[in-house]
Structure 1
Amino acid sequence: MALIRISGFSGENRALHPSLLAEHQATVSSNQRPGRGDLRSWNAPQTIATVPAGRSSMYRMGRDVASDAQYWLSWPSVVHAVRGFDPGDTTERTYYSGDGAPKVTDNVMGLGTAPSPTSNFPIASRPLGLPAPSAPLTVTTLQGGTGELVSSYYVYTYVNDWGWESAPSPVSTESNRPSDAQATLAGFTLPPSGNYAINRLRIYRTATGSSGATDFYFLREIALATQTTTDDLRDLGEVCPTVSWAMPPDDLTQLTALWNGMLAGISGNRIRFCEPYVAYAWPENYDVIPPDSKPVALGVFGQQLVVLTNGRPLMVSGSSPDAMDQQLMDLPQACVSPRSVVSMGSGVAWASEDGLCWIGQGGARLITAGIMTRADWQGLKPATIIGAYYEGLYLGSFDDGSGRCGFLIDPASTSGIYFFDAGFTALHVDPLQDQLYG
């Protein structure tokens, strides 16, 4: 009996006429599991936990815990969650955008005191940041003093129970008084309503440092309820660090962890960056604005931030937010689905109108060129694609009008594409478990 032996099955190729396909390529590949080159099917997915219906995003709190059966945060909107980077934090502080204004939660307020696997997490959160005081304080010179006249100005900030500090208040009116005369400080405004946990105020006074520059230097800290205090001529401390700080804008989305303690996000036409290792401070002077296009999504590989737009992509890099350089890429492939963007270690993949695109080590290219025509790709409805990283492959879930299905493709070796029948409305990769959840 004659045998025909075929090995190295590489999935489906829709771009070529069937008569031109190599022996290892298929005209149709359904539910074939890639990896070994044989015809191997997928195992049925396991049910690990249940989140409320209608969720578009999920994230597992308690990632230091081996079990993956509980502590799932989920949202009906498209949310990007990032674990905090404070080495002293024991509560798994987590920042996220997409659920209204940017927020922060942890495994205390987010999970509650007796969490149930079926609870609707996160239970509670705080705004990401503190508002600045809205009014200046007033300064009254006390009697006495014979020194030369000195001009001073004051500001104050809010501080919460985590040690977060707001931007300063408006500057006080000028205080001219003898250098040895004390002053009464009053007119402190209470913070606006909200779960900020503000419990104290820090007061700063102008002085000229050794460099000859005049800055606001720390004078004293008082409880939030204090109505008045004094400038008792004590030695001044450090320069106010929060002069340029601001809360992230309410419309910030696409919160993304970078290198060197930085976070990035999108607000309107701008790419915003936080102060290094200060996730709640977003100075406006760090903004990057893509030329002639609007940013829609972010991805990261190495120390490169890939900004996907409604035009050409942009590469942004730098060691700190005040030293970011941008480079417009020569790849006219707009991102049509922000949820399709996947950071894959060596590069970033996203869906365009022409196919699945890639920027990374080795440059930029259209991954699906040669295995799918534009018409084939359009049949998947690329604007519906949700992407995730799975075992070195790009996994996409799409809705072509007949229900959600999926595909897998290897950006490093694009000899075929593997389609499967399962579909997902939310995907989450857990590095500890080395598992993909949907």
Structure 2
Amino acid sequence: MTTRTGLARPVAVASLVAGALALGAGAAAAAEAKLPRTMVWTAYDLGSSGYAEASGIANALMKKYDMRVRIVPSGTSIGRLLPVTTGKAGYGYLANETYFAAEGSYDFATQQWGPQDLRIVLGRLAGNGLACAGDAGIDTLADLKGKRIGYVKGNPSVNVKTDASLAFAGLTQNDVQPVWFGSYGALKTAIIANQLDCFSSVTTSANTREMEASPRGIAWPEFPPEDKAGWERISAVADFFQPLKETAGAGISKEKPKNLIGYRYPMIVTYARQSDDEVYALIKGIDEVFEDFAGTTGSAQNWALNIAGKPPADAPWHDGAIRYLKEKGVWDAEAQAWQEQRLERLKKVMSAWDAATEKFNTWRGEEQKKGNKVDPDDAWPKFWNDYRIEQGLGPAL
């Protein structure tokens, strides 16, 4: 089987780490946790709730344990996962790129990536929707037609949620004005500058708070849970969403909730190869300092073990995390059944990748003998997509 612990093409990860935010050392060590003296994590870029919560958790851990955490921010899915893949970082605070990477789909359908053997440590329950400018006249999702909608290059996590939101209203990119940006953080700036009308977001990020405080304001078109046809259209785009009544965020409160999309973000993600003992120590440490970071954002309370330590999520759970979750009475038979099914799915996808690779190489060799040059960068994604569909695994693109 093909090894998936690195990439064929070298990428300058060192520059990312060098530019990362270094967080200071903490107090006395607690021997029972056995955490590394230094850890490197990746997260969404500055201003995101994922970055804020990763920083809050890091600070809480460093106050209790004799350790340092360095956070590498990135506005793209590949930028967040690549340091974890190459071992420059141990963990990523990731979004739904976790699912796409495990499936070898979207930006991870290239020969340089393929299905990644990822595991979840914890996954915070989150609400997502389209954060729209309050002056754009968007009261319902149907009002999105013709509006300027933000997309991010190299970030399928954002882009698929955006497409799913459009699908709820029976719309596609052809019905709106897609505006592409190089990083997620640029979307908020474009909204405030009136260069954009909406972008996909969690409700509690600093970006949405800035939108709310700007002259344009903020609006969240809703996803009514009773609209079964709309939810079926969302599921056809991606199957990890569910209805969620959000009560916290910019322009949202317990008194003024919004029916939005529920999913896991951020998820603390690593590879299956990561030490069970280290993962056990990390989830144990996070659990022990929970009260110290639970107020970091309006949704940080959802890092509570009984919420963030249960499936479903975008990849299987790590064995080290499961060991601790079992000790705390969080992991039950239902969670284990989900885990086994998800592991079987991942195994099938990875086996299909190996079989498709062998078949592709044979076909390419035959074409070369005929004098037909095949560019693998162009031909492989479609070949892999078609092969997945033939095997009943669904599309990759």
Say which structure, 1 or 2, has more relative contact order (CA 8 Å, 6+ apart): 2
* Structure showing the higher strand proportion among its residues: 1
TM-score (norm 2): 0.24
TM-score (norm 1): 0.23
Q: Which has the larger radius of gyration?
A: 1
